[in-house]
A and B are shown apart, each in its own frame.
Chain A
Amino acid sequence: MLALHLLWVGLRVPYSVVFRRMQEVARFRDRGAAASHLESGRRSGAAIVEWVLRSSQEHDVVLFRGPRKGALEFVPALLHPRLLVEAAATDRSDPHYRGRPIAIGTRDGKRGQIVIIGDGDKLGVELR
């Protein structure tokens, strides 16, 4: 049985360990972090994250609302070093949160504070 085990794990090395890993790395590099994490399976929202990245500075706070599950779980890491903060915890009239500017964006002719909306496997965005 040990010989069978060794045969099984040994034969897997060229394809499962080496080739599949190289494929995965190449795919990740081609697509970028946002699409790799958010456009897989049922998840979506990479375009929103990429728009927020373009619209904000690294030191900014980006607001969110919705349950901290699903696609939204990836957003703090994708936006790092920006901080993702509950919109409800901030004051609408204050352009800062704990000394950091709140990210402002322009979309469809409207300008306002960016709020990412977590909705299960999907992401949305609104400006307030």
Chain B
Amino acid sequence: MSSRRFDLVSLGPIYALASFGVIAHAFLLAGAAVPSWIWLPSIAAALGLSTLRVRQVDEPTERSSLGAESAATRLETVLGVVLLAATFAALTYGAIATPAREWDGFVSWELRARVLAESLTLDQDFFRDPAVFGHTREYPPLQPLVLASIARLSGSFAAARLFFPILWLAWLALLERGFRAARVPSRWRGFGMCAAGLTPVLVDPTMGAVDSGFGELLCLFAWSGAAVGLLTRHGPLTVAALALTILAKPEGIFLSGIFLLTAWVSGNRHALGSALLGAGGAALLWFPVYTQLTSTTPTSPWLLVAVVAAASIALLASATWLHRRGTSPAARMGLVAAAIAALVACAGFLADSLGSQGGVLGLYLSGMDRAVARLDRLGEIGLAMLSTSLAPRHLGLLVAIGFALVVFAWRDAVYPDLRRLVMLGFVGLLAPFLLSPEPDLRHHVSSSLDRLLLQQSGAAWLLVLPWLYRATRPPAQPAGLVAGSTR
């Protein structure tokens, strides 16, 4: 399959879902029902955007070993395809055989989808009436809207749940595209797809798995797209992925903040501009919907526009100013402390604006006092994070490989921007646990950290695999000694 045609498969779904999300939220903001036909312009947008050339793409240049290892490579390919096919079959069966079998998937994500399948609007008692028990109804409605619209089009909710295993396949194609952009040879790309695709917490029958009905897969997909966008400096992909990240899950706000911070620290003004467009635009669409769903006093849309515009201008202007001064990323990291202080100040404002009592965002953003009180437990949280992230039953050996690369192969490190994204994302996971309203912190870490790590695992594989490949391949021989060299 040619590179351009493959981009329809690998990048098309992220464009289609982001377009669907943006159009659907425009309808919700207008107080109208979301028509299922908006899939048509969404797919058309995906077709158009997928034809845009992705930069830094090249076929792998090292083919010399393929002939010698062809038998072994064929066996690896067969094994990989069999494992992925068996997993896909199991996930598909798990998705369509029953309704959601895991907690949040059943009580929140799927229930909202079933309510929306009756009428694709938030203007109904389930969403509007505070006396009605609608579990976490203020969560982003994109995934429920997607399922509901497919259910209406297909006439079957089980058919709508096919969305999950298909999204898993789309995610694998997206990762493959990222590995290819990173010039990872095809054999290693196969390793990478198996290594990521068979991540235990993603494919086991557990909370957060593909067929659990949770929003983790959509968030993982969107965030992986953001990482591919950063890796390839592909503006439209970055815009779409960041918009989708915001519209997928509440954690999208945190992840988008990590992306903006990364782009700013790296001095990558291209990524910064794209991310501000995607995340800022999606935030302007989602925040008003969120305030409606929390039944709090709606924040003026103009105030939201002003806040997003002011933050965007401040970030872009400071990035430009630092670029002209030639400030190093290390020095920029020093300035991050000031940014965090500003964020703390903004969080109070956002908590007031977004309803400090009603919604999940408000609960976290109003937790600054808790965060300060918990600073003495930072070591405990860090240790719990380490033990969870290193336990093979969650992410396999992904985090262990990452640590090993940092310790033993730092000189081979690749893609500094992506490296910062992954590392800031990992360290940044301390923040939700410091701010969390959950009183039993240990239980909170053990019950949710694996899913928060899962959301970032795609981005981590996009960094780890090329880095590992570079660290393990034999050192290049001088050009004149290479067989067949024409120099």
Residues of A near any B CB (own CB < 8 A): 1-2, 4-6, 8-10, 12-14, 16-18, 20-22, 24-25, 28-29, 33, 36-37, 64, 68, 72-77, 80-81, 83-86, 89-90, 98
Contact = CB atoms under 8 A, between A and B. Distances in A.
B194 A10 contact: yes
B101 A36 contact: yes
A38 to B, nearest CB: 11
B204 A20 contact: yes
Nearest to B464: A2
B427 interface: no
B111 A25 contact: no
A37 to B, nearest CB: 6
Given A6-B194, A68-B133, A12 B200 contact: yes
B133 A77 contact: no
B198 A21 contact: no
B378 interface: no
A46 B86 CA distance: 34
Contacts of A68: 133, 135
A89 B131 contact: yes
B329 interface: no
Interface stretch (B33-41, B47-55, B87-95, B278-286): B87-95
Interface in B379-411: 392, 396-398, 400-401, 404
B417 interface: no
A71 B251 CA distance: 25
Given A5-B397, A83-B126, A84-B132, A13 B468 contact: no
B396 A5 contact: yes
A10 B397 contact: no
B134 interface: yes
Given A24-B101, A29-B97, A76 B134 contact: yes
A92 B174 CA distance: 56
19 contacts: A2-B401, A5-B397, A8-B392, A9-B198, A9-B396, A10-B83, A10-B198, A13-B86, A17-B90, A17-B204, A18-B89, A21-B90, A21-B94, A29-B97, A73-B103, A77-B107, A80-B111, A81-B118, A84-B132
Per CB-CB distance, the 7 closest pairs between chain A and chain B, nearest first, are: A89-B131, A9-B198, A5-B397, A77-B111, A84-B133, A21-B205, A86-B131
A86 B126 CA distance: 12
A29 B99 CA distance: 10
A19 B199 CA distance: 17
